[in-house]
Structure 1
Amino acid sequence: MTLQEFIKLALAEDVGDGDHTSLSTIPADAQKRARLLVKQDGVLAGVEVAEAVFREVDPELEVHVHIEDGRAIHYGDIVLTVNGRAQSILKAERLVLNCMQRMSGIATHTRAMVSLLEGTKAKLLDTRKTTPNFRICEKMAVKIGGAINHRFGLFDMILIKDNHLDYAGGIEAAVTKAVDYLKTTGRSLPIEVEVRNRKEVEEVLRIGQINRMLLDNFEPAELKKMVELIDGRIVTEASGGINETNLRAYAETGVDYISSGALTHQVKSLDMSLKAY
């Protein structure tokens, strides 16, 4: 889904056959202005989305951006101003706020998580634990916050997890089938395999043919041992119950990547408002 496709769907959901409150109370030719106000400190995300929403609703709206995505914001800051048809501003208002508040909350939390990794080699990844049909914005916010987008969906990577392993008949069977599938279909996709214990780590090292090993639900002390065992032969990623309270401990194991669903599914939106002036 592209950003424009998302915006069209979101407006269709919100506006339906018309914003009848604005249509009935505001003259069609009324020209007004509004400004987007910050009501909570954090990291700004969603300006690009807001501009696209205003443009989709009414190309004649004039948007003036005062603070760019990724900047620190504080109570009372004015992110942008918009001038034009009052009905258009009101139609776009809630979608703009919903996107920017949620995205800024994610960017703020992500920035705080990334700062905990300073001095280590670990890079922070997001996951597919996102809001249906809002993934494009949530992953944009993660990137703005300083982390790295993992796969966007099921189509851009082969990630063989526990259920795949159980259904396929084990690690070797799953990896063999995945490699054959790529050859047969002519695709070039990275292969990642989830492992749950030392025995599976050793099996993957023996089999090879993959790009990354996902060490799931290991405690930091055990993870450190597995990273030492792997010894750089395969890129490593840690996952499972990782949040701001234990992120540093995982990073200090020497793992290459750490993925955390908490970046997107346990975040509170940042408070903002769009007010006439």
Structure 2
Amino acid sequence: MSGASPRSSDLQPPPAETVEADVARALAEDIGSGDVTAALLPDVADSAYLLCKEDSIVCGRPWFDACHRALDPEVRIDWRVQEGDRVRKGTVLATLQGRARALVTAERSSLNFLQTLSGTATITATHVDAVRGTGARVLDTRKTIPGLRLAQKYAVRVGGGANHRIGLYDTVMLKENHVRAAGSLTAAIHAARAMHPTLPLVVEVESLAQLEEALREGCDRILIDDFDAATRRDAVRIARSAPFNGSIPLEVSGGVDMSTLRSIAEDGVDFISIGGLTKHVHAIDLSLKLGPPPG
């Protein structure tokens, strides 16, 4: 992995109350009526260390910390890396000092957050690196783990990607069903503008004729879904020629994987949305072990 780190503004996690709510659900799910195994340990002061067992981008520190502090408000967590850092296999990420039972009880929930969000950030960075220099930006989708949308979309930003709409409420997206119901693409655009004049409007088109119609009527972004390479290049040429002159960015979605990503970006599109960033998560291999770190 290579390339510049994300902007500091991209590293702002969701509000503390969102993180705490995520953690409360996770701990309640795991602990239930009580950790019967941790109860076998003496409730004494102890230490632990957090080990990363594969190359990754670190993401999820706020959730990791909140898990441990929920069970031991006095726990001390000393991070050796920053959020968004690229680390190598074998890196000790942090050391902890706290109560032995609390360290053990919080272990799995804290690692679940960190491994999932680090995995999301890491795969995002791989895609961002693949399009570097083309001008295309990598977007996520709404294909997120239920209940962890804000967390995963934060991880995408940490990995250098950008967020598409957060939910169904913050951006209007016109697709085939809307065009069918309205009678035409133009009518659907007019209806959307009339009902939601202040929201961003993204329009999906299925042909070059619809592309030109959307360009004439105006919107904030045009989604060209499942165009073949030749038609995609024609779409870029049309969108950048007079009288449109690239005023409305083009987004590609569908049929995107690592084997096609670079060529799609080189065709000149502005955005590429990829559901796999948050849907096909490879969790990073981490472990939390009691005792001092080796060496």
Report the TM-score, using the length of structure 2 for normalisation: 0.87
Query: Contact 1:65–1:79 at 8 Å: present in 2 too?
Result: yes
| Alignment of 1:8 onto 2:24 | yes
2:235 alignment partner AA = M
Per the alignment, residue 20 of structure 1 pairs with 36
Per the alignment, residue 135 of structure 1 pairs with 149
Per the alignment, residue 207 of structure 1 pairs with 217
Given the alignment, which residue of 39, 57, 60 partners 1:46? Answer: 60
The 1:168–1:31 alpha-carbon spacing in structure 2 relative to 1, beyond 3 Å, is: farther
Q: How many angstroms apart in 2 are the aligned matches of 1:98 and 1:167?
A: 43
- Measure how far apart 1:120 and its partner are: 1.0
Correspondence list, 1:149-160, <5 A: 149-160=163-174
Q: How many angstroms apart in 2 are the aligned matches of 1:74 and 1:150?
A: 30
Per the alignment, residue 225 of structure 1 pairs with 234
**Percent of residue pairs identical:** 41
SS at match of 1:2: helix
The 1:220–1:48 alpha-carbon spacing in structure 2 relative to 1, beyond 3 Å, is: farther
SS at match of 2:196: helix
- Measure how far apart 1:168 and its partner are: 4.0
Query: Contact 2:77–2:95 at 8 Å: present in 1 too?
Result: yes
Q: How many angstroms apart in 2 are the aligned matches of 1:112 and 1:92?
A: 30
- Measure how far apart 1:14 and its partner are: 1.5
Given the alignment, which residue of 95, 99, 108 partners 2:122? Answer: 108
Q: How many angstroms apart in 2 are the aligned matches of 1:110 and 1:203?
A: 33
Correspondence list, 1:165-244, <5 A: 165-183=179-197, 188-208=198-218, 210-231=219-240, 232-244=246-258
SS at match of 1:273: strand
Gaps of 5+ in 1: none
SS at match of 2:162: coil
Per the alignment, residue 12 of structure 2 pairs with none
Q: How many angstroms apart in 1 are the aligned matches of 2:184 and 2:66?
A: 46
Q: How many angstroms apart in 2 are the aligned matches of 1:220 and 1:85?
A: 59
Kindly provide the CA deviation profile for residues 140-192 of structure 1, in whole angstroms up to 9, marking residues without a partner as x. 22111111111111111111223333344432232222111125xxxx21111
Query: Contact 2:19–2:62 at 8 Å: present in 1 too?
Result: no
Q: How many angstroms apart in 2 are the aligned matches of 1:166 and 1:78?
A: 56
Q: How many angstroms apart in 1 are the aligned matches of 2:176 and 2:75?
A: 50
Q: How many angstroms apart in 2 are the aligned matches of 1:236 and 1:75?
A: 38
- Measure how far apart 1:73 and its partner are: 1.4
Q: How many angstroms apart in 2 are the aligned matches of 1:161 and 1:3?
A: 33
Given the alignment, which residue of 265, 271, 275 partners 1:257? Answer: 271
Query: Contact 1:38–1:79 at 8 Å: present in 2 too?
Result: yes
Gaps of 5+ in 2: 1-16, 241-245
Query: Contact 1:241–1:260 at 8 Å: present in 2 too?
Result: no
Kindly provide the CA deviation profile for residues 1-21 of structure 1, in whole angstroms up to 9, marking residues without a partner as x. 822211111212222222122
Q: How many angstroms apart in 2 are the aligned matches of 1:170 and 1:91?
A: 57
Q: How many angstroms apart in 1 are the aligned matches of 2:289 and 2:138?
A: 36
2:144 alignment partner AA = T
- Measure how far apart 1:220 and its partner are: 2.6
Q: How many angstroms apart in 2 are the aligned matches of 1:177 and 1:228?
A: 28
